């Protein structure tokens, strides 16, 4: 039997991607804790952020998956704190943050 509570995990990575393009433009980074885009106001990652992230991580698809998974973790935590009873479903957030990322092979090859 566990006699003590495990500590809560600390904050995850800082959302510093995608980088602004052009450099003087407002970056399509998330505005926390609502997780909307700072530049266009759409739910982050917005379509421009997705394109810029794919370009930033063109040579590192594993790094993109790790970054998106970290952002997914942070978003779930923030959005649940904002609205514990009516927040987005985990599946919706997974599709929004992780599922669009780098191509993954199916677990089983189709017949």
Would residue 95 count as lying in a domain? yes
DSSP 40-83: T-SBSSPHHHHHHHHHHTTT-HHHHHHHHHHHHHHHHHHHHHH-
What is the pTM for the complete model shown?
Answer: 0.75
Would residue 6 count as lying in a domain? no
Q: How confident is the model at residue 101 (pLDDT cuts 50, 70, 90)?
A: confident
Would residue 54 count as lying in a domain? yes
Residue 99: DSSP 8-state: I
Would residue 40 count as lying in a domain? yes
Would residue 23 count as lying in a domain? no
Would residue 68 count as lying in a domain? yes
- Beta bridge mates, 43: 36
Q: Would you say residue 99 has pLDDT above 60?
A: yes
User: What is the structure's pLDDT at 64?
Assistant: 93
Q: How confident is the model at residue 71 (pLDDT cuts 50, 70, 90)?
A: very high
Count of structural domains within the chain: 1
Would residue 20 count as lying in a domain? no
pLDDT digits (tens, 9 = 90+) for 27-57: 899 998 999 999 999 999 999 999 999 999 9
Structural domain boundaries enclosing 73: 30-99
- Residues 80 and 88: their CA atoms lie apart, in Å, by 8
- Residues 110 and 71: their CA atoms lie apart, in Å, by 31
Top-confidence residue, 9 or 93: 93
């Amino acid at each position: 039997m566990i006699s003590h509570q495990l500590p809560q995990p600390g904050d995850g990575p800082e959302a510093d991607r995608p980088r602004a393009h052009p450099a003087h433009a407002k970056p399509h980074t998330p505005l926390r804790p609502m997780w909307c885009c700072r530049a266009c106001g759409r739910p982050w990652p917005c379509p421009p952020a997705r394109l810029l992230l794919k370009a930033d991580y063109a040579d590192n698809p594993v790094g993109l998956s790790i970054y998106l998974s970290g952002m997914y973790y942070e978003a779930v935590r923030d959005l649940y704190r904002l609205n514990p009873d009516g927040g987005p479903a985990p599946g919706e957030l997974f599709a929004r943050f992780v599922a669009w990322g780098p191509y993954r092979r199916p677990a089983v090859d189709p017949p």
